Amino acid sequence: MGLKIYLDGKMVPKENAKISVFDHGILYGDGVFEGIRAYNGRVFRLSEHLLRLYNSAKAINLNCGISLDRMEEVVLKTLRINKLKDAYIRLVVTRGVGDLGLDPRKCPKPTIFCITDKISLYPEEYYREGLTIVTASTRKNIPESLNPRIKSLNYLNSILAKMEAALQNAPEAIMLTKDGYVAECTGDNIFILKDNVLKTPPSYLGALEGVTREVVMELAARNRIACREEVFTRYDLFTADECFLTGTAAEVVPVVRIDGRPIGTGKPGKITSKLIKEFKALTLTEGVEIY
C-alpha cells in the first residue's frame, strides 16, 4: 500500500495529494505548520505541538476550521491508515484558496493536510561524533516584523542561511539577530554549556520556542543541571565547554566545531551525551498512543 495523505477530510494517495495554485499558502506562505514525531506507537508531545499550531494560527487570524481535538484525530488517523509506529508528521494549515490579491478575507476556507512519513535529518555518525557548523551572514528577521513564536509557512529567511551552510559543506548554520546575538539555527534551537550551566537564547531575540528545547530544559531540571535562557554572542559559543542543537527532526545532536573553532574538547561532551540518552528514553515511553 502506498503512502496516504490526509487532505481536507479525505485520505488520498501521495501522488494525488494536490492543492490549488490559488492557495495562499503557496502564493504567499500564508499558513502555519508543525513537525511532530511518533516513536514506538506513541506521538510525542502531541498536545504541545497542536497548541503551538493553534496559537500560531490565532496570531495570524487564521481559523483552522476544526477543533483541536479533531485535529488530534487527524494526526492519529493518518498514522493508522499508513500503519506507522515510528514517523515524522507534517501538519499544515494554509489560508486556503483565494484570488491573486493579498487579502485573506478572499479565502473562505482553510486547507488542511497531514503527511506521515520517515525522516532522517542527520546521519547517525553526527550523533556519535558531532556536527561542524558555521555562522550565517543572513540575520534573523526582527520579532517586530514576524514574531518567531509564529511557526509560519514562510521559511525563506532560514533557507537563505541554509544555502550559506551548504556552500561551506556544513549541515547547519547559526543565525544571529540584527544586533549580533545568537538566536537559533536555520531549523534547530541551540544550547551551550559553560561552567556546568546550560544556556539557550530567549525567544524574544528571535528564536522559536521549540518543543524539544522545552523537553531538554525539563530533563536538565530533573538531573539538577542548571539551565536558563540567556542572551549570548559568538564569543560565548567559541568558549563554551559543550554545545548541542535541538529540534523535532534533529532531536538532540552535539556540535563539536563552529566557524573552525573546536568546542570544548572537540568531541561530544558528557552533559550532551547524557541528555541525548535521557531524551531517547523519554520518547519511547511518553506520548499519545496511536492504536
φ and ψ of 124, to 5 deg: -55, -30
Q: Quick one: DSSP state of residue 178?
A: T
Alpha helix (H) ranges present in the chain?
24-28, 46-59, 68-81, 124-129, 156-167, 211-222, 234-238, 270-283
Catalytic residue among 14, 18, 77, 151: 151
Q: Which helix (H) or strand (E) holds 171?
A: none
* Per-residue cell: 3: 503512502
* CA dist 52 → 44, 75, 116, 188, 219 (Å): 14, 15, 19, 16, 21
Location of C-alpha cell 550523533 = 127
Catalytic residue check, 151:
yes
**CA–CA gap between residue 274 and residue 224 (Å, rounded):** 12
Specify the pairing of strand 4-7 against strand 10-13.
antiparallel
Annotated catalytic sites, by residue?
151
